[in-house]
Amino acid sequence: MQENPLAAGLGLPREPPPLSLVIFGASGDLTRRKLVPALFSLHLKGSAARMRITGFARRDWTTESFRARVRAMLDAEDAPPASAVDKDAFAARVDFVRSSFDSPEGYAALKEAGPDHPNRLFYLATPPDAYQTVVERIHQSGLADQSRGYARIIVEKPLGRDLASARALNEVFAGAFPEEQIYRIDHYLGKETVQNIMLLRFGNEIFEPVWNNRYVDHVQITMAETIGVESRGRYYEGAGALRDMIQNHMLQLLSLVAMEPPVDLAPDSVRDEKVKVLKSIKPIGADAVEAETVRAQYAAGIAEGGEVPGYRREQEVAPDSGTETYAALRVSLDSWRWAGVPFLLRTGKRLSRRATEISVHFRRPPLNLFGDRARLSAQPNVLVLRMQPQEGITLSFNAKIPGHASDMRTVAMDFAYGSAFAEELPEAYERLLLDAMVGDSTLFMRKDEVDSAWRFVTGILGGWAETARPCLSFYRAGSSGPDEASRLLASAERRWRRL
């Protein structure tokens, strides 16, 4: 039974039942950087008092050596601050099973290790090519049995490479787990500002009446990174910016901004509305990719305080690679609310600033009452929701400059989570892990969400392959991206927000 998220929103208890959490791929970077700190934070808050954690990997480790590694992770600078007693107590509840992903003996050991924990939560922190093997072995060993308690699985992206592979992968999951027990994670949905989108819209009467094509000129969604591909060259060569960022993170943000009010906050009520948005996206195929998309790749430049190589000089990248490290789209929705409003999406690596934000750009007033000088200085109102680097919300509007003339200037009202609530924000993985433990799937992707997103993205990929258009552009590392992206604005009065 799924917990009512309204109870969570009111601060009512969200105590998980006794459970065994198994991390497949426990020797990887995700476990070290995200999962262990998040689980430890839940431990400190008392939300994991009845949980046993088992790492599963091929490394030649024992439970004792794995505990020592976990204990060392808790001493890292970015780990939650805590006493040595708390760190020791957390490490003591960790076990380890050494096994390859296809060994039946490893899964038998898992089954024997947790007889007192009727609920099981499996986390796939493995390379995507191991998903099928792990899920099939879980099923064959009986670990997915739902008769004694729940058995759930959390799956990291990427969920396929295109529509066909995503559907095939979902069939593999469906062969072992009911759909309601499959938790497809997108860590961006665990960020406070993302969760606040619905509350901002539907909990404040001043916003929802103007959240439509009568008042909104366009919406920009930006995910900009200053880093390059670093050690992920092999993965990125097979992915690119469109698959890596737009198919999941950015389309999820778009669906939250554009969705209709749900009938309630039950998980499927919210996800039903998100799916409607994804299904309403106008396809971009071979006939439209040149007009509606831009793809580009970073060249050598100055970034993060020093000279950096171009993408084609990165480790495990082909010297003539055509993979895009930057992608921008102009997305149109065939819906009553958003007809005629372009959603402008852009994402890229090695850009001038790290930023993830949604900006809603409102129309200009219908009549200029304040003269030409005011018209030139006045800017359209913009509502900005920032996910990183500092989560918050800013509303810009025009105000009169003190003096005898009717001169005006754009000013801003700014809300920052850190200063407004004077407490540290929980990490996204902390919130999402707790949700999966208690059975709240609101912030996880449903099968038809993944399907609808891939249908749209696969059309673009096919259009690029069929026409070889638009041509791959290049931008200097440390810049704001390719000049070609400006043509997607389709108006002399629109501007991309500065990076």
Task: Provide the residue count of the chain.
Answer: 499
Structure tokens at 160: 């396929």
Q: Quick check: pTM over 0.75?
A: yes
Among 23-32, 258-267, 369-378, 424-433, name the one with the lowest average pLDDT. 369-378
- Judge whether 404 counts as a catalytic residue: no
Nearest of 324, 318, 320 to residue 295 by alpha carbon: 324
Residues 6+ apart with CB under 8 A from 174: 182, 447
123/491: higher pLDDT: 123
Residues 6+ apart with CB under 8 A from 377: 407, 408, 409, 410
Q: Are 392 and 358 in contact (CB under 8 A)?
A: no
Measured between alpha carbons, how far is 229 from 126 in angstroms, rounded to an integer? 19
Measured between alpha carbons, how far is 78 from 234 in angstroms, rounded to an integer? 28
Query: Residues 311-328: what's their mean pLDDT?
Result: 96
15/86: higher pLDDT: 86
Q: Are 410 and 398 in contact (CB under 8 A)?
A: yes
Write down the pLDDT at residue 77. Answer: 79
pLDDT tens for residues 277-305? Answer: 999 999 999 999 999 999 999 999 998 88
Write down the pLDDT at residue 402. Answer: 83
| Average per-residue pLDDT for the chain | 90
Task: Give Dmax over CA atoms of the chain in angstroms.
Answer: 83
Binning pLDDT at 50, 70 and 90, where does residue 408 land? confident
Measured between alpha carbons, how far is 242 from 323 in angstroms, rounded to an integer? 10
Q: What CATH topology corresponds to 189-489?
A: Dihydrodipicolinate Reductase; domain 2 (3.30.360)
Measured between alpha carbons, how far is 33 from 290 in angstroms, rounded to an integer? 39
pLDDT tens for residues 40-75? Answer: 999 998 888 889 999 999 999 999 999 999 999 999
Reply yes or no: is the peptide bond before residue 158 cis, omega within 30 of 0. Answer: yes
Stretch(es) of the chain classified as CATH 3.40.50.720:
5-156
pLDDT tens for residues 132-176? Answer: 999 999 999 999 998 888 999 999 988 999 999 999 999 999 999
CATH superfamily, domain 5-156, is NAD(P)-binding Rossmann-like Domain (3.40.50.720)
User: In this structure, are strands 182-184 and 392-400 parallel, antiparallel, or unpaired?
Assistant: unpaired
Q: What percent of the chain has pLDDT over 70?
A: 93
pLDDT tens for residues 78-136? Answer: 788 899 999 999 999 999 999 999 999 999 999 887 666 789 999 999 989 999 999 99
Stretch(es) of the chain classified as CATH 3.30.360.10:
189-489
Q: Are 119 and 79 in contact (CB under 8 A)?
A: no
Measured between alpha carbons, how far is 148 from 165 in angstroms, rounded to an integer? 33
Catalytic residue of the set 43, 187, 218, 249: 249
Q: Are 117 and 17 in contact (CB under 8 A)?
A: no
